[in-house]
Every structure is written in structure tokens, then in C-alpha cells.
Copies of this chain bind each other. A is one copy, B any other.
Amino acid sequence: LTVSAAALGGIPEVGVGVDLAGVLAAAAETVGGLRDGDILVVAHKVVSKAEGRVRHLSDVRPGEPARRLAAEQDKDPRHVQVVLDEAADLVRAERGVLICRTRHGFVCANAGVDASNAPTAGTVVLLPEDPDASARRLRARLRDLTASAPAVLVTDSFGRAWRHGQSEVAIGCAGLSPLDDWRGRPDAGGRTLRATWIAVADQVAAAADLARAKDSREPAVVVRGLERHVTVQDGPGAAALLRGPAEDLFR
């Protein structure tokens, strides 16, 4: 079995309201066009920009909690206000990083609010309002444009509790089984696998990230060879990957 990940070139800076599916379908021509069974992996920033999920810091009036936290953590109080607006819960604030649970349920730094690769200085990019819905819309539009139905993944890079560095994870998906459950199935020796429950969508996000450089305009990658995980139905989305607060072992 061979799995491949190829970055799509030629994607211009994306502005609000752009037909992102059209841009992606055109860019995919460089890798032979999109086909059924492909997984199109898209960094959330272009999705957020196309959806207008950008805030100008000059429009933000930080409240008292944001000012206090910003002073404590040596951050811009307007940026902190946007983070608090996006956060359901502040998990931890330490060394300038605000680890939040977002309104979607993702636990990540700064509630996903980020200034790098923002459209202009003084703006920050937010996560999409509903990344699973973003993935479903992109997939539906790609189906119209290309007569094929690749799975669509929307991704971001998250830190990890016990390991250095970030890994790309799925924050939205459509047409991909996000988890592959081997619990109860036999291993190669016929013994029952107990805890094997593979986060396929996150592994696909990580694989795709390896195919692009962070300074290049390559927000999209086509992953091939994983037809077995691609579904006709859009499925449960990346929401299925979330541990709810009740299952969180670290509260």
C-alpha cells in the first residue's frame, strides 16, 4: 500500500467571498485533477479568509479581563480580547500562551486566533465558525465543479500536552471516516486488539503538512491511496474526534 501527499501550487492569496472550491479545483489540475477517493486537505487559514473570519485589531475594544490577562502574559490586549471572544473556556495561561477550549470544543493555543499568514498587518485570522460545515460546503461545491467527490479536510496545527512542537490535526472533515476502530478486531496473531482506535483524520492532516513548507503559498494538499477511508456520505466530521470536557482527564 502506498499513500502519497502532493501540495497544490498556484493558489493565489484568497480574499473574502472567493469561490475557494473553484480555486482548489483549478490548482488540482497540476496533479491530474481531483478524483473520487482523493482527500483534499486544506489549511484552515484560506477557508477562514474566504469566509471572512478575519478581525482587524483596530476594531477591537479590549475589556477589563482581556487587559488584565494581556498585562500578565505580555500580549496585545486586543489580540487577547479576540481570543476570549473565541474561547468557551481558558484552560491555562502560561508563558504567553493562552490554552483555550474553543466554542467548537478544540483545545489549542490562543483559541486558534493567529496573526501569521494573516491578510494584512493588524489583522488576525480566526478558526471557521463551523469547520465541519465548511468542509461539507467545499465538498458539495467540488462535486458540482469536478463531477468527483473527494473527501475534504480542514486543518490547523495544534500543540500537544506532553510533546514539543505542533502537529497538524483535522478541525473539519467531510467524506472521511475520522476514526478507524479496531477495538475488538483480531491482530495478526488472532488476539483481540484492545485499544486500537486510529485517528485517521489527524494522521492524514499530519501527512499532508509534510508536503508543504510554511513559508510557501501551498495551503492545499491532495492525499491519495486512502480510498478505504473515503465515504460517500459526509459522515460525522472532525467533531467526532473531540473528547468532551467530561472525558477530559486533565481538569
- Which residues of A are at the interface with B, using a C-beta cutoff of 8 A? 1-7, 92, 94, 97, 99, 106-107, 109, 115-121, 157, 159-169, 178-179, 182, 185-189, 191-200, 202-204, 206-207, 209-218, 225-226, 240-243, 248-250
Cβ-closest chain B residue relative to A168: B203
- Grouping DSSP codes into helix (H, G, I), strand (E, B) and loop, the A interface class, with mixed when no group exceeds half, is loop
Select one of B165, B182, B203 contacting A206, CB under 8 A.
Answer: B203
- Inter-chain contact B166/A215, CB cutoff 8 Å: no
Alpha-carbon separation in the docked complex, A7 to B2 (Å):
7
Q: Which of B116, B207, B243, B249 contacts A210 (CB 8 A)?
A: B207
B248 touches A157 (CB 8 A): no
If the complex has contacts A5-B207, A207-B3, are A166 and B196 also in contact, measured as CB distance less than 8 A?
yes
Check if B214 sits within 8 Å of A92, measured CB to CB: no
* Known contacts A203-B206, A226-B210: A179-B165 contact under CB 8 Å: yes
Chain B residues with Cβ below 8 Å from A210 are 3, 200, 203-204, 207, 225-226
B250 touches A165 (CB 8 A): no
Chain B residue nearest to A209 in the complex (CB): B203
CB-based contact B202/A118 at 8 Å: no
Interface pair A167/B5, CB less than 8 Å apart: no
- Whether the Cβ atoms of A166 and B198 lie closer than 8 Å is yes
Chain B residue nearest to A5 in the complex (CB): B3
Contact at A191–B249, with CB atoms within 8 Å? no
Does B207 contact A167, Cβ atoms closer than 8 Å?
no
| Bound: A178/B165 CA distance, A | 9
Is there an interface contact between B107 and A165, defined as CB atoms closer than 8 Å?
no
- List the B residue with the shortest CB-CB distance to A222: B2
Chain B neighbourhood of A161, CB < 8 A: 107, 160-162, 243, 248-250
